[in-house]
Structure 1
Amino acid sequence: MHVFGTDIHIVTFCFIVIEAVFFVYQFFYYLYWPKDQNRKYYLILLFLLIVKNLAMGLFPDPQYTSIPMVIQYAFTYAAGFIMASYFPYYFYRSYNLEGLRFHATYGVVLFLYTPFTLIFTTEYLFTSDIDSAIAHGLVIPAAYSLVLAYVMYKSMQKAFRKELDNREYFEVVGVYCSVVPFVAIAFFPNIAQVTEAIITNLGFTILTILFIRRSVLQARLDKAKLLALSKLKIGTPLHGIDPTIDLDQQIFEANISMFNLTPREKEVVGLVRLGKTNKSIGEYLQISDRTVSKHIENIFQKTEVNSRTELMRRIMQKQEE
């Protein structure tokens, strides 16, 4: 069943509508907080998927006589390749998978765009057989997708080492399951539209669940930080602090101003006290992990400690010394 007299199947159309509504919803959230880089990367990926779904549904179609078939094929595969090439970049940026840096920047150009363009163009010029040219042009990109899947697996092992050690597999498994459908598609150049729509959008659905989960966890972190900072009255004497705040909080508030920390360093200490990792702190403050590490190094020097445990002990015991 198709819609509006085009080749867009009703299943593909439903995915497009749902994703378009979700895109608008998330775009308004992004306008509210444009520093949310993860949401920006997600919106770009969602937009590229919508374009891919449209291209896959509309082309190639012989009824568009004004558009040569080779152009229709080119547009369809260009939409798919652009989305596929953005995928490693999305994970590299959103999940800080440093192992994907090369593939996110240069690898997709060298092993996706270049070989497909050369092989497809050469064969099509000599044979005028589009389907055969596409099938042969996808050989190297398909093989590269396996390499990319392996590199992502190794990068995830490193990035999620803490979660794996604690046997927290939800996000690790989810990320990998979201990638597998996109990798599989490369091996089936002539797959039916409905099947391709279900497979690719299934992968994106898993990715969306992970994105929403991360957003919820980030919102909880934001709330915890705001609550902590709302109680943090820097420079207020111990006896002048709200008695409803627990004793540890009172000591923390009274002592943190005694170490000549910058405002940013005080924010970092407040988040360290909440037990947040460098990655979590960086995501909230919109700074890199390296910058967080530098702030913590400066804090250690000013408080004359060598670890987070010593830092908290120093902060909490300063009044007693």
Structure 2
Amino acid sequence: MNVFDTEMHLVTFLFVIAESVLLLFQTFYLLSRPSEKRRLYFVILLFLLILYNITGGLFPDPNLSIDIKVQNILAYGTGFSMACYFPYYFYKGWELKELRFHAFYGVWLFLFLPYLAFIGIEYMFTGDLISSVQHGVAIAFIYAIVVMLKMFKAISMKYALDNSGWTADVYLTYFAIIPWIALPLISFFQLSQFVEVMVTNLGFTIITFLFSRNNIIKSWEEERQLASLNGNLSLLDSSSDVFLNNCQYYNLTAREIEIVTLIRIGQTYKSIATDLFIAEKTVAKHVQNVYRKMDVSNKMELVGKLEDNQPKTEI
């Protein structure tokens, strides 16, 4: 069942709508918290999947004014683009360092070049789409198996499985990878759009579930850390008024006051970064600004000046 007199199957259309809404939500969330790199990698993957669904659903269509060859090249190109990004997503988003070669080099050698050589060049000259696709995806399929085995090993190492057996997360992650392996087979055997969409989007659905679950766990952890931070702040003694007055005297910003307050109770840059959800180098930069404002060179001098209740002259 197609929609709007196009080649797009109804199921493809529904996936595009649902994933577009998800993309909009994730993009707004990312804009509010731009430091979340893992969400950025997820948004890119989601965008590529939507593009793949749209081009794969609409092309080829003889009723369109675009040349059929161009339509086919675009349709397969978006599929190869998503396949090329997949190892990078797991390398960066899931921190599977063992995939570095495949993320930066392997996909170019064994996915992009075959696509360019067979679907981009051979098909343009011969016009034989089926043969060109089969030539291009044959290498991709073999490479996909190699990457799959590498991913399985990397995932097992990441989860540090013990004698109790594999966790549900490991099983789900494996199932999320399998559709990526199936892409070359779908193209090789020219399976229907319905089968193609169901297989590829099933894998992405699993990835979305794992991504959302991990974010919920992260939110719980942030709440726990925030509660711990509030507990630390409550440990400050009765000299807090003097401390805060001195912070204002030296024109410290709100963020700088947060940081020096935590330095005062003995926290390290790393623990401060964790509690405030910022990078450790950002903490260091703020501290250097405080040192400059207060004309000090170390933490002891910093805390000493901020706890000094003696009258000060104008700076």
Q: TM-score, normalised by structure 2?
A: 0.75
Structure 2 letter corresponding to 1:141: A
Q: Which runs of 4+ in 1 moved over 6 A?
A: none
Q: Distance in 2 between matches of 1:186 and 1:168?
A: 28
Q: What's the CA shift string for 1:193-246, capped at 9, x where partnerless? A: 011001101110011100110010000011011111111128724999xxxxxx
- 1:31: how far off? 1.7
Could you tell me whether the CA contact under 8 Å between 2:232 and 2:265 is conserved in 1?
no
Are positions 1:36 and 2:36 aligned together? yes
CA distance in 1, matches of 2:183, 2:123: 22
Matched, 1:267 2:266: no
Give 2:145's aligned residue: 146
Equivalent residues of 1:142, 1:187 under 8 A apart: yes
Structure 1 residues 286 and 105: CA distance shift in structure 2, 3 A: farther
2:92 counterpart residue number = 93
CA–CA distance in 2 between the matches of 1:171 and 1:285? 28
Shift of 1:182: 1.6
Given the superposition, is the C-alpha separation of residues 205 and 62 from structure 1 closer, same or farther in structure 2, using an over 3 Å criterion?
same
Partner of 2:53: 53
Looking at structure 2, the residues matched to 35 and 125 of structure 1 have their Cα atoms a distance apart, in angstroms, of 43
After superposition, the C-alpha distances for 1:226-267 in whole angstroms (9 at most, x for unaligned) are 111111128724999xxxxxxxxxxxxxx99576x54x2443
Residue pair 1:92, 1:104 contacting (<8 A) in 2 also: yes
Shift of 1:168: 5.7
The match for 1:209 is 209
Moved more, 20-29 or 84-93: 20-29
Q: Aligned AA for 1:6? A: T
Q: Taking structure 1 as reference, are residues 202 and 286 closer, same or farther at Cα in structure 2, changes over 3 Å only?
A: farther
Summarize deviations over 1:288-314 as a string: whole Å, max 9, x none: 9xxxxxxxxxxxxxxxxxxxxxxxxxx
Note if contact 2:69-2:127 (Cα within 8 Å) is conserved in structure 1: no
What 5-or-longer segments of structure 1 have no aligned partner? 241-254, 272-280, 289-321
Find the counterpart in structure 1 of residue 83 from structure 2: 84
Cα distance in 2 for residues equivalent to 1:145 and 1:58: 26
Is this contact kept in 2: 1:116–1:140, CA < 8 A?
no
| Alpha-carbon distance in 2 for matches of 1:256, 1:124 | 65
Match of 2:115 in 1: 116
Aligned amino acid, residue 102 of structure 1: F
Contact 1:234 1:256 in 2 (8 A): no
Asked whether 1:200 is paired with 2:214, we answer: no
- Residue 188 of structure 1 deviates from its aligned partner by 2.4
- Is the 8 Å Cα contact of residues 30 and 36 (structure 2) preserved in structure 1? yes
**Of 175, 181, 188, the match for 1:183:** 181
Give 3-state SS (helix, strand or coil) of 1:232's partner: helix
Aligned length: 261
Please give the alpha-carbon distance, in whole angstroms, between the structure 2 residues aligned to 1:114 and 1:105. 14
Deviation at 1:122, TM superposition (A): 5.4
Map of 1:220 onto structure 2: 220
Max radius of gyration: which structure?
2
> In structure 2, which of residues 171, 174, 189 is the aligned counterpart of residue 173 of structure 1?
171
8 Å contact from structure 2 (residues 2, 8) kept in 1: yes
Tell me how large the CA RMSD over aligned residues is. Answer: 2.9
Q: Return the TM-score normalized by structure 1.
A: 0.74
